[in-house]
Structures are given as C-alpha cells and as structure tokens.
Amino acid sequence: MNLFYLTFSIISVLNLIFAITLIFLERRDPTATWAWVLILTLLPGIGFIIYLFFGLRFRKRKIYREKQIKDFRFPHDFSSTINRILFQIHTPYIRRMVRLGYKSHPSSFVGYNEVEIFVRGEDKFNSLFQDIEKAQCHIHINYYIIKNDHLGRKLLELLTQKAYEGVEVRVLYDGMGCRKLPRNFFAPLFKAGGKAVKFSPSFLDINYRNHRKIVVIDGKVGYIGGFNVGKEYLGQKEEFGFWRDTHLRLVGESVDTLQYRFLLDWNFASGEEVDYYQRYFPKKENLGEVKVQIVTSGPDSREEEIKYLFLKMIYGAKKSIYIQTPYFIPDQTMLEALKIATMSGVDVRIVVPDKPDHPFVYEANHSYLGLMLESGARCYHYKGGFLHSKTIVVDGEVASVGTTNMDVRSFKLNFEINAFIYDTKTASELKGIFLADLEICEEITLEKYNQRSIGMKFKESIARLVSPIL
C-alpha cells in the first residue's frame, strides 16, 4: 500500500511539474493556463492525457507550418479590387475594417454580390439542392457535420448523380464532426468519380476542427453560414425543435474567396495539388450591389482575424450592437469591448439559446450574460426552438454572418469563416430579423438573474472555471 501511495505521489508531482512547464512554454492566455493547471492538479495522469488531446499546441504549430506552405503556392491576384472598393466606402471605421480584413490575407478583398438570407433550414437546402442540380462544371462542399440521415443521403444522392454526369465533385468533411458517418457512406460518390476527404483525421488533432461551411458551385454561386447537414437543421429532431440559424447565398465576386479558401483546405487535407484553374474562377457578370468581405481564421493564422474584425465592429458602434450566438463565452478582450460599448450608451443586445447542446454551455452562457447585464446590456433566451445563428449587426450598417461563435474555441482553435457585409440594406434586413426574433424571446433581467438558485450559481462557477477550454 505504501508503494502505491509513493508511486501515485511521484506521478502526481512529475505530472504537475511537466504539465505546468509545457503550458507556460506555450504562452497561452493566463485564464486558460490556470484552467489547465486545475485540471492537471485534480486529475493527475488522466489530466495529462486530456491535455495531450485538447491543450497541446505543438500540433497547432505543425498544422500552421504545413498549411502556410500550401497557402503561399497560390498567386495572390485579388488585390486589384481593393482600392476601387475603398474609394466607394465613405464611413471611416468601415474603411478601416476593410483594410484590417484585407491585411489578414490578400484573398479577403471586398466584392460586389447578390445576397440572399436564409433563417430556415428547409429554405436553405431547397435552394442549395436546386443550385446543385444546375451545376455544369464543379461542386465544392465543406461541412463540419454531415449526418447519415435522409438529408445527408439526399445530398449524397444529388452529388453522385452530378458526378455521373461528368461534374467535378469534391466534399471536405471534418473528422470529428462527422465521426459517426459510416466508413462506406461516400462509396456511391467514389464509384461515380467524385471525391470526399476527411479533414484532420488524426486523433491527436481533435482540438483543431474545420468548423467552416462552404459551398461553391461552378465558381459562380456560394453558400456560407451556420447550417450543417442533418435532419435537426430542418427542425426534425425533437430534442431541439425548430432550428433557427442564418445562412447566406452569394452570387458575385466574393464567391472567388470562398473558392480560394476551399481549394486551400482541400489541398491541405487531401495531399493533392489541385491547380487554381480559370474554370474555378470564372469572370463574374451581372454583379449585385452588396459589398461582402470573406475572412477566415484558425490554427493556420498568426492572428485572430475574425475576432479582430468583431472588435473593430464593436468599437465603431454608435447606436446598436445586436448579437446572436449559441455560445456566449467571450475572452476578456471581447467582454471588455462589449461592456465599454454598453456603458458608453450603445444599445447592446445579446440572444442565446434557452437550451444547451453541450455540457456546461448553458451555465457558462448565463454566467457571462450576468456580467453584461450588470454593465447595462439587454440579454435574452430564444424560446422558439434552438438558436444556432452566429450574427452581429452594428448600427444597421454593417453585419457579420458565418460560422464563428462568440467563444474562445472559435477565436483560437477552430478553422472558421465569416462574411462581413458592408451594406445598409442587407444589414437592416438582418437587424429586422433580429428584432423579429425578440418577439419569441424571454428577456433576462438583472433582477431575475440575481434571484437564481445557489445550485445554479455553483454550476456557473464551475462552468466559468472550465470555460476557456470548452
């Protein structure tokens, strides 16, 4: 028995020393550092294994190096439009946003587009399937989750048919998000000549997921937003009920950026060298009037580009900031920016789901909403089903729609993509959708928040403690 205790003590001490050394060498956020120290202290041995899979950043550096090399192989020729666009933007802080987004990567230029907004899965997939049926050259698809249900099989059936017709079909899916897919799910597509590749299949890469949702059809039509592929996104899963999300259909210049990002990710994940042929970037005709900038971020980025643009939006707000997000677990920088805006008289409103889809998320959301309530923000629970929408609308002038949640995981770990919209009409439409949603929300008042139970307060404390690693 004494030998057991001695061995356990030695393992615990070595585990703690080694883990703390690794964590501090990684130069991560202090809050996340202490969260990991707590886990490693309370769970010796097991905690270290968890850290290997979820906390270690050596893999991130490897991902960054490999992916950056592939990125540099593309001739950056998108810059020709930047000065033309900047000349036509008269709001100073929006001009600075455009420059910031462009600085993150030359492909993040601003283009003119037609934009259609979807908030119902049925409408989005009806439109997507119609566009797929019309495809003549290629179909490029990237989803975080594809389910083996009637919607996933319908998508597979359409893609397989188009592959038989001679259309190039490429599907990129995340290894973690699609972990329940049968191994032979894409067999019909392969037989027809199409291709499907798993992104980041290694179990050690479990912490760095491709959370992007991108569809490009013939280089002319693009989709970006929050919907994945599965029956719950049609509101057909009792656990969630109606699924409220936001997705965009783009026709215009910004489709080139979606295409570019897909091909970069495809080449990285597949090991292929798909050239950037002109057929993937056809000349755009009959451009719309909506200025859209596509920005990406992830473990392959030196900076947190999407987060920086969120901050620029918040600091530029004069009247209102309307946020919808399933996960409101901001880091300190984002939290302080929102609090400063609120205390400066900006109308800050935040809507989150009334039901969680992951452990600790509801409590973590509630905890941070409490801080916002204390600063004067107005916060709401969405009561019409499950809210998965990831949108920000500022002053009814500029908006963002994409895959990025308001949490540390999206800012630092996931591969994300967002559309930043510099158009009053479209931003006002998104603002109207937000205000309509408030009709089926329950406001969380500070008085009500302060009356929460001791049990809820305890759960919030635990959730706050582990929130940096959620």
Residues near 329 by Cβ (< 8 Å), separated by ≥ 6? Answer: 361, 364, 365, 368, 405, 406, 407, 408, 467, 470
Choose, from 388, 412, 431, 459, the residue flagged as catalytic.
388
- What whole-number distance in Å separates Cα of residue 214 and Cα of residue 197? 14
Choose, from 131, 205, 218, 423, the residue flagged as catalytic.
218
- Catalytic residue status for 150: no
Instruction: Read off the tokens for 325.
Output: 């997000």
- What whole-number distance in Å separates Cα of residue 299 and Cα of residue 205? 11
Instruction: Read off the tokens for 129.
Output: 């399937």
- Catalytic residue status for 90: no
Choose, from 105, 140, 213, 431, the residue flagged as catalytic.
213
Nearest 10 degrees: Cα torsion 369, 371, 372, 373? 90
Alpha helices in 239-329 (DSSP H): 255-270, 305-316
Choose, from 140, 162, 211, 381, the residue flagged as catalytic.
211
- What whole-number distance in Å separates Cα of residue 27 and Cα of residue 48? 18
Per the document, the length of the chain is 470
Choose, from 147, 390, 412, 431, the residue flagged as catalytic.
390
What DSSP state is assigned to residue 381? E
- What whole-number distance in Å separates Cα of residue 46 and Cα of residue 48? 5
Residues near 224 by Cβ (< 8 Å), separated by ≥ 6? Answer: 213, 214, 215, 247, 248, 250, 258, 294, 401, 402, 403, 417, 418, 419
- Catalytic residue status for 358: no
Choose, from 256, 265, 300, 395, the residue flagged as catalytic.
395
- Catalytic residue status for 213: yes
Instruction: Read off the tokens for 353.
Output: 């789901």
- What whole-number distance in Å separates Cα of residue 417 and Cα of residue 265? 12
- Catalytic residue status for 395: yes
Angle at 349 between CA 315 and CA 442, to 5 degrees: 170
- Catalytic residue status for 211: yes
With contact defined as beta carbons under 8 Å apart, do 388 and 226 qualify?
yes
Catalytic annotation, residues: 211, 213, 218, 388, 390, 395
